[in-house]
Amino acid sequence: MHEEGIMKYIVAILCVLLNISSNSALSEKPNVLFIVIDDLRASLESYGGPIISPYITELASRSALFSNAKVQQSVCAPSRVSFLTGRRPDTTRLYDFGSYWRTHAGNYTTLPQHFKDNGYFTASVGKVFHPGIPSGGNDDYPYSWSIQPYHPSTQHYQGAKVCPNLDGTLHDNVMCPVNVSAMPLQSLPDMQSLEYSSSILKNLSAASHSTNAHGRPDKTSRSPRDPDMQPPFFLAVGFHKPHIPWKYPEEFKSLYPIESISIASNPSRSPTQPAVAYEDYSTLRQRDDINALNMSFPNGTIPLQFHAPMRQSYYAAATYTDFLVGKLLQTLNETGFSNNTIVILFGDHGWQLGEHAEWCKYSNYELATRVPLIVHVPGLTDKPKSSLPNVHQSALKMKDNVGTNADSGMVVTEFVELVDLFPTLSDLAGIEVPPTCPPDPFNVTLCSEGYSFAPLLEANSNAILVGNATKKLTSTRYSRWKNATYSQYPRPGVTPTRETDLPSLKVITVMGYSMRTKDHHYTEWIGFNHTTFTGNWTDVKARELYFNDKDYDQNHNVADDPKFKDIVQELSVQLKMGWRQSLPVPA
């Protein structure tokens, strides 16, 4: 970061902190470090996967790791607007990239806005909201953020022809290990985001100290954890990788020898897959290296010999991000904030790496809708504890390669959804928890269509550390936690077209509503009216039914098998009843 930019930013932070401190009654509240990683599937080491991720694994070892966290729509903008507003896509009315919820659906309070309204300094670095129209053209500033959101300048070169082929020519490739010193500005977007977010932590730490006679910070006088010195912060950091293109420092590729890479066990399309469920990864096909394969559209598939190299680059890009996460957490510790900061790390949706002959996200499959979610709460998750003392554990079985490997942390197998983040973080921070939204909540400013999963984090002592005090969580017993998660994905029709993966609102005619229960994953693709934002449950285009214990990879759709007619009928009723009927039930 240039020195002039740092000084301007220090001045901006100090002005905001002085204003907050003089205009609000601050109490001892925890800080929040909110880390969202683009396109990250649950294949990290801590989830039993092949992605080398020692820093996230270390975080998981002192955190709660959620093995069944699901998104509401598996594409960037709709997912982010959903979890940042605490509302589902049918309420944000965003299924594409073409509208801003405040003008298109309702003037909803966001998660960071709620913290800002409760005396927090809030800042956004990198890709938190999806930039552009979905966040009002300015990342929802000034509603959600105390200062102007930061985007790395090198992001302007995301489509630049800087990826070297074997012959030395440069291209716009998907697989793109690079020499960073040869890149524009000699950096990469996530490196710049790390630098900027680290500077925020350092500046907040400096601002928390009183000044000496010369007007300079006196670091011997006060601790950065002293709540009288500064407001608490909500710092959101969005890392771009492993989103395509997989542009990352070339040294990370050497961690994954090509002969060590296994491809998907199900690299071909299933004959029982409905055409409407297929995503044709058009965005991938546009990159030079994939376009050079001359695949027919839409059913041409990437040759198997390219599957391992593509996985290699995805894994390397994810490990690169893990390295940056480690640096950020190190700065959090060095600035003295780690003992009073809730750290949450998760992916905005999953990603498919050749399973079902599919790549990217753009579907309702498990690999697209399941994400890693790790939550560290000082004083609560630091030591191994028995999970869910007041909740009956799910008996959901996970395959070894998609299970967990968090040996010394808390593993939570109960269902949670990203729409739960808003009420959960509010609950953990001790600020007002948004109530459950009523039906048709378009005129309700503050409410949530999620549910706080703070009860799943309760220790035997039933307490968490907040500042220098101990706060008691409300002890609620549940006869049943969430019994299902819900996601959805739009299509322009039942057969693949150039707009299948990312249809704009005006062409959406089909919506796939999907539900994951303990035993089943069930989806109905139904007719959808994009002007009234309603689905027609009598117009069923296709159904999908998978048994989780027998077919976790979702290779065999048995929805049309007469033997399972009763199960389909039962699940169809539950799906139509929706998420409200699946909320936790207090004992």
Q: Which two tokens stand for residue 245?
A: 């293109």
Cα(521)–Cα(396) distance, integer angstroms: 12
Amino acid symbol at 202: K
Catalytic: 130?
yes
Between strands 510-516 and 520-529, the pairing is antiparallel
Helix segments in 167-236, DSSP class H: 189-207
How many Å apart are CA 485 and CA 487, to the nearest integer?
A: 7
* CA atoms of 457 and 73, how far apart (whole Å): 25
Q: CA distances (Å), 141 to each of 150, 353, 430, in order?
A: 11, 35, 24
Given the structure tokens 């905001």, which residue do they identify? 16
The residue type at 586: P
Distance between CA 235 and CA 580 in Å, rounded? Answer: 31
Phi and psi at residue 506, to the nearest 5°: -65, -15
In this structure, what token pair is assigned to residue 467? 């500042």
Beta bridge partners of 525: 512, 542
Q: Is there a contact between 448 and 87 (Cβ–Cβ < 8 Å)?
A: yes
Catalytic residue among 2, 15, 76, 556: 76
Measured distance CA(201)–CA(185) in Å, rounded: 24
Nearest to 246 by CA among 301, 194, 184, 320: 320
Taking the C-alpha atoms of residue 251 and residue 249, their distance in angstroms, rounded to an integer, is: 6
All residues at 6 or more sequence positions from 426 whose CB lies less than 8 Å from its CB, including other chains: 111, 114, 115, 432, 433, 434, 452
Q: Is 360 a catalytic residue?
A: no
Provide the token pair at 212.
Answer: 């000496």
Q: Look at phi and psi of residue 573 and say left if phi exceeds 0, alpha if psi is from -120 to 50, else beta.
A: alpha
Q: Which of 363, 350, 366 is nearest to 517 (CA)?
A: 366
How many angstroms separate the CA atoms of 281 and 550, rounded?
28
Catalytic entry in 2, 15, 114, 130: 130
The two structure tokens encoding residue 484? 């299902």
Residues forming beta bridges with residue 514, ordered by sequence position? 487, 523
- Distance in angstroms (rounded) separating the CA atoms of residues 483 and 520: 11
- Give the sign of the dihedral formed by CA 198, CA 70, CA 555, CA 361: negative
- Dihedral in degrees, nearest 10, Cα atoms 182, 183, 188, 189: 170
Distance of CA 22 to CAs 1, 17, 18, Å? 30, 8, 6
Q: Which residue has the tokens 């048995």?
A: 558
Quote the DSSP letter at residue 51. B
Beta bridge partners of 33: 235, 343
Q: In degrees, to the nearest 5, what angle opens at C-alpha 538 toward C-alphas 532 and 542?
A: 100
Active-site residue list: 76, 130
